[in-house]
């Protein structure tokens, strides 16, 4: 059965991140992608020039209307922007209880622009994290969520994964996917932890400036894969492999003059 997978996130008009990137990744991995718009941006590959919020009651209406009609097998949460929207999303997902919730705590764009209100961080930590079955923070985001300094070594990452896991629910099937891309070196090692098992996911660092939307793509890939891969570490490995292949083929695209997007359809489009 083809899974129906929902992204709740913002719109990046350049298509490299946000709901457009999410639906691309979901489609490439064989899921039917759907989107609830939680925020609007004026954005290209170089900068975010403006952000406009979506009324929280309208975000809630989008979620309720969709769930009332469509079976939703997994939800990915990305940029929410505002505290009111964060609380509305938490409230409606607590009501509908989708089987998988992958939370990518989007706070800062690749350009350095802030995408989440400071007052929304508490709502994210207290209302949304306990609902998530997986969170996918990078190291700076992990520092904000945990209240500790960002990891500087793989050993630090292991400790951080344990701290973050305590912020999630009590069930064994809640996981932290801590992304290690901010650490120096030629390896890009991620850490996967569920409170019992701590698994390292190795990967090679690919040198390209076209890495816009990598966090969105990874979390969307996880949401697309989890309904069909009950073994979470296997789904995580497949999602990371998909992302690395997308980055490796990113330079085939010619989108903007800043941080360009990854090649979501690398398996479908022929190499030049």
The answer to whether 175 and 192 are in contact (CB under 8 A) is yes
Closest of 83, 139, 79 to residue 115, by C-alpha? 79
Closest of 24, 13, 2 to residue 217, by C-alpha? 24
The answer to whether 210 and 171 are in contact (CB under 8 A) is no
Summarised one tens digit per residue, pLDDT across range 84-116 is 999 999 999 999 999 999 999 987 666 566 677
Rg for the chain (alpha carbons), in Å? 17
Q: How far apart are CA 164 and CA 29, in angstroms?
A: 28
Closest of 148, 87, 143, 78 to residue 119, by C-alpha? 87
Q: Confirm whether 214 is a catalytic residue.
A: yes
Residue 91 tokens, joined: 């409230």
Residue 81 tokens, joined: 């922007």
Domains of the chain and any CATH numbers: 4-252 (3.40.1190.20)
Q: What is the pLDDT of residue 138?
A: 92
Q: Confirm whether 174 is a catalytic residue.
A: no
Question: Exactly one of 41, 179, 240, 260 is catalytic; which is it?
Answer: 179
Q: Among the listed ranges 24-38, 97-111, 214-228, 245-259, which one has the minimum average pLDDT value?
A: 97-111
The answer to whether 48 and 109 are in contact (CB under 8 A) is yes
Q: How far apart are CA 229 and CA 38, in angstroms?
A: 28
Summarised one tens digit per residue, pLDDT across range 169-198 is 777 789 999 998 778 777 889 999 998 999
Q: Is the pLDDT of residue 71 over 70?
A: yes
Q: Confirm whether 216 is a catalytic residue.
A: yes
Question: Exactly one of 211, 217, 240, 260 is catalytic; which is it?
Answer: 211
Question: Exactly one of 10, 86, 180, 216 is catalytic; which is it?
Answer: 216
For the sheet with 4-11, list strands across it.
48-53, 32-43, 4-11, 74-77, 101-103, 134-135, 175-178, 190-193, 198-201
């Amino acid at each position: 059965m083809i899974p129906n997978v929902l992204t709740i996130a913002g719109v990046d008009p350049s298509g490299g991140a946000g709901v457009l990137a999410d639906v691309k990744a979901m489609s490439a991995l064989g899921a039917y992608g759907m989107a609830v718009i939680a925020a609007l941006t004026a954005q290209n590959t170089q900068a975010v020039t403006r952000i406009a919020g979506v009324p929280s009651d309208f975000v809630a209406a989008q979620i309720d209307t969709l769930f009332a009609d469509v079976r939703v097998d997994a939800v990915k949460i990305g940029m929410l922007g505002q505290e009111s929207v964060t609380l509305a999303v938490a409230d409606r997902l607590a009501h509908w209880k989708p089987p998988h919730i992958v939370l990518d705590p989007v706070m800062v764009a690749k350009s350095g622009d802030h995408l989440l209100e400071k007052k929304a961080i508490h709502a994210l930590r207290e209302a949304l994290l306990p609902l998530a079955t997986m969170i996918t923070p990078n190291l700076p985001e992990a520092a904000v969520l945990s209240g500790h300094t960002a990891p500087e070594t793989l050993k630090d990452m292991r400790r951080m994964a344990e701290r973050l896991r305590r912020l999630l629910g009590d069930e064994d099937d809640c996981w932290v996917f801590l992304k290690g891309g901010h650490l120096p070196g030629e390896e890009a090692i991620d850490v996967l932890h569920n409170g019992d098992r701590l698994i390292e996911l190795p990967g090679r660092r690919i040198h390209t400036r076209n890495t816009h939307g990598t966090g969105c793509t990874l979390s969307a890939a996880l949401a697309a894969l989890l309904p069909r891969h009950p073994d979470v570490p296997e789904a995580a490995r497949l999602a990371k492999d998909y992302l690395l292949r997308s980055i490796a083929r990113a330079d085939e695209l010619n989108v903007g003059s800043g941080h360009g997007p990854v090649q979501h359809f690398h398996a479908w489009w022929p190499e030049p």
